[in-house]
Chain A
Amino acid sequence: DIQLTQSPSFLSASVGDRVTITCRASQGISSYLAWYQQKPGKAPKLLIYAASTLQSGVPSRFSGSGSGTDFTLTISSLQPEDFATYYCQQLNSYLSGFGQGTKLEIK
């Protein structure tokens, strides 16, 4: 099984900050990676697919990059509504799995 490790697990930042979350796969997954945002009590929301493609309707301050084993999600200028938990998810040989999550909190 492929394991995804996100870092950091917790991140404290201020409105306007630029933040980066990293997701590392235990083996290469090409660009078969997606990023989700989840707010308390809500279903996850797809932000990025194919490692770097912005889902329709998602603000352009979100961006993704990487391929193989190392991926990043960047928020260029944090907005109040961005404080949430973020998950990466991989697809490999038709199996999927999620990272452990990164909780983004207001400083």
Chain B
Amino acid sequence: QVQLQESGPGLVKPSETLSLTCTVSGGFIDTFYWSWTRQPAGKALEWIGRIYSSGNTHYNPSLQSRVTLSVDTSKNQFSLKLNSVTAADTAVYYCARDAMGTYYYGMDIWGQGTAVTVSS
């Protein structure tokens, strides 16, 4: 079955760029949307954005100025870049498959999450 795995540095310095990659295994990245969501410790989920396999993107307006999503279909991967990070960006970051069509089918497959700390 389809599985997702996040990867990237667990520690990022303030003002630098957070970069994470999600690898899709057991299936192809084509014809689905793929989302990033984060969760600070003890707090609610926050949707960051989504990307279609064609490269079409939708971003959370509150993060749009700092976020870039990209996709590499040849590697079955999609990526997140968040620039100018601060301590407020410290969170567990999740990637997920995001199914949309006639209805919204929800985020049905999630990675296990990766913890990122912003600290000098």
Residues of A within 8 A of B (CB): 1, 31-34, 36, 38, 42-46, 48-50, 53, 55, 87, 89, 91, 94-101
Contacts and interface: CB of A to CB of B under 8 A. Distances in A.
A44 B45 contact: yes
Interface of B: 35, 37, 44-47, 50, 58, 60-62, 94, 96, 99-100, 103-108, 110-113
A8 to B, nearest CB: 14
A46 B47 contact: no
Contact of A87 (B35, B44, B58, B110): B44
A12 B11 CA distance: 37
B44 A100 contact: yes
Contacts of B108: 46, 49, 55
Contact of A43 (B35, B47, B105, B111): B111
Given A1-B61, A43-B113, A95-B61, A34 B106 contact: yes
